[in-house]
Structure 1
């Protein structure tokens, strides 16, 4: 059976007795009338189906172009039960890291015939759960979800409903591992930070870590990796040198200001994301300290701004292009009914720039 694609707006206007000429939306009936063929013929031509002569196809397409016809994608998606749209849930698009992820997902999805609906949770788990339901109600074909404002239970509930959800870059708490995920070896990233700073002779190393209002460490794997590497090098992390932030520039500045006013301040600061690291640079500058001559600073994420700070920021690189490709491959394979194993964790890479140097005491 062949179903004709009709224009919903046109049908609504006809049903309310509004004159057809009040709308500029051409329908397949308008094309059929202009081309002197049936609406079924137009439908076959536009859908690429049926045994229609080349001359008729060309004539229909010519009139469709002249009349400015646009297919009703909403009606088509209702018929086919697919929208060729994916949802992307992120915490804050104002954060350059997530803005970069969003841009890469949108560009990559578009190249593969999909549109992207991007939404922000603003670190609010109640809102995050509502946004997942909203995307499902809008009939997206699948969702890529990043941490921050999404609870484990909300994700599990959405997966149980049958909608494909790929968790990306989650640092799960123990017992909350998601089955479909694409991630980074965050713990190894934290180890690389410690090894880099120890190799430069630093022993008074501070950590500014993202901690939520409920006391949960959001970046716990990168923090744990750094902490364990320091302990293994007989240089355990001093609890007094750990300060809390919230992944923002302001929190990084405030935390660094506190750390640098200690009686025995650190010679190096590891901020668990780049924005907090840049905030720490600002705090050092306001205190008249030179980076890296007086203080080394290292971040995590390698956001687009990192090479352009003064001095350029040493950081842990997250390969966004590779990450997004893996996430899309996994999501689209599930949408198409295929079964793929989640890929192994991506390996982090330390990008050494000018914000870290040999510890002053080691010179």
Structure 2
């Protein structure tokens, strides 16, 4: 395998001249540049990207920290980020934390050692203080840490209100909620939106809210307990599509027909919602647009370009399918 010294010898120039051509830094006469480029092609030379990263302190690489790649929401988000980054000349390193704080810290250290140029974070296990101390630009997505940290989210509360009102408009009288983790702002906002719609109802108590932890299996378990405790429930708003599918499984196990006996609506708009039987009604996030915006914003920050707006809250839309 050819080295940079081989290229320099072949072209009859110094190693420093080859380096200037490779990094496009410093003056090189056009004839000399062409000789170097010709030698690179003839010798099939491939620059050592790690060495170039050390020299430039840039790697054209982004880190992406996700909480759970088993949740279909995050691979879809990652696809949008990766697509956009690739078009702009960057590669993406994916890190799955499993919502483990120590694992998240280790990933941050590894990404910095690899000289990533910036990081997109969709995890609540990395503390605000840690994010502020990072030596590279950061964009948070799906999880708001602070409004003065670049952030991409959706209007969770409005979406939850839309979902719960829609069930009421469908004639559902007692609507339960399967919420996400208590330490996540988006889960709290969706629960708050649900409460806004049902808190004035005579039947409502906190026992109509259960925590599915954004997991399908947990949602199935708590939904079964919910239906046993309140057999008169005829509507469920789940704070994620995966939990809504878990709730659908619980309803079938409980002997209920969907949507005849009970209507179920989710939140996210993942592709899996269309593969369920019946197809799931959902509050759809503009997933691709979210990932695209996060990647473009981060790359602008990396390049030192002016970013006038660093906090984006996208609208959501209700997509009606067979589960309601």
Q: TM > 0.5 between the two?
A: yes
Match of 1:51 in 2: 29
Matches for 1:187-206 after TM superposition, within 5 Å: 187-206=157-176
- Answer yes or no: is 1:219 the counterpart of 2:187: yes
- CA distance 1:237–1:141, change in 2 (3 Å): farther
CA contact (8 A) 1:227 1:237 kept: no
Per-residue CA distance 1:123-176 (angstroms, 9 max, x = gap): 1123223322332232211111113433xxx3332323442111111255xxx5
Normalised by the length of structure 2, the TM-score is: 0.90
| 3-state SS of 1:167 partner | strand
Q: Distance in 2 between matches of 1:139 and 1:204?
A: 53
Of structures 1 and 2, the one scoring higher in RCO (CA 8 A, sep 6+) is 2
| 3-state SS of 2:62 partner | strand
- Given candidates 116, 127, 131, the residue that maps to 1:158 is 131
- Answer yes or no: is 1:282 the counterpart of 2:249: yes
Per-residue CA distance 1:294-339 (angstroms, 9 max, x = gap): 1111111111111111011111111122112222232222212234
CA contact (8 A) 1:184 1:346 kept: yes
- Please report how far the alpha carbon of residue 47 of structure 1 lies from its aligned counterpart in structure 2 after TM superposition: 4.2
Which blocks of at least 5 consecutive residues in structure 2 are unaligned?
none
| 3-state SS of 2:313 partner | coil
Matches for 1:103-114 after TM superposition, within 5 Å: 103-114=79-90
- CA distance 1:60–1:180, change in 2 (3 Å): closer
Match of 1:348 in 2: 316
Matches for 1:64-143 after TM superposition, within 5 Å: 64-143=40-119
- Please report how far the alpha carbon of residue 41 of structure 1 lies from its aligned counterpart in structure 2 after TM superposition: 4.8
CA contact (8 A) 2:150 2:311 kept: no
- CA distance 1:40–1:244, change in 2 (3 Å): closer
User: How many residues are treated as equivalent by the alignment?
Assistant: 321
- Higher Rg of the two aligned structures: 1
Match of 2:218 in 1: 251
- CA distance 1:137–1:159, change in 2 (3 Å): farther
| 3-state SS of 2:314 partner | coil
Per-residue CA distance 1:50-98 (angstroms, 9 max, x = gap): 1132xx6555444423433111112222222211111111101121100
Q: Distance in 2 between matches of 1:50 and 1:274?
A: 57
Q: Distance in 1 between matches of 2:19 and 2:135?
A: 32
CA contact (8 A) 1:45 1:52 kept: no
Q: Distance in 1 between matches of 2:147 and 2:105?
A: 18
Which blocks of at least 5 consecutive residues in structure 1 are unaligned?
1-23, 357-363
CA contact (8 A) 1:155 1:165 kept: no
- CA distance 1:43–1:200, change in 2 (3 Å): same
Q: What is the Cα-based RMSD across aligned positions, in Å?
A: 2.4
- Please report how far the alpha carbon of residue 116 of structure 1 lies from its aligned counterpart in structure 2 after TM superposition: 0.9
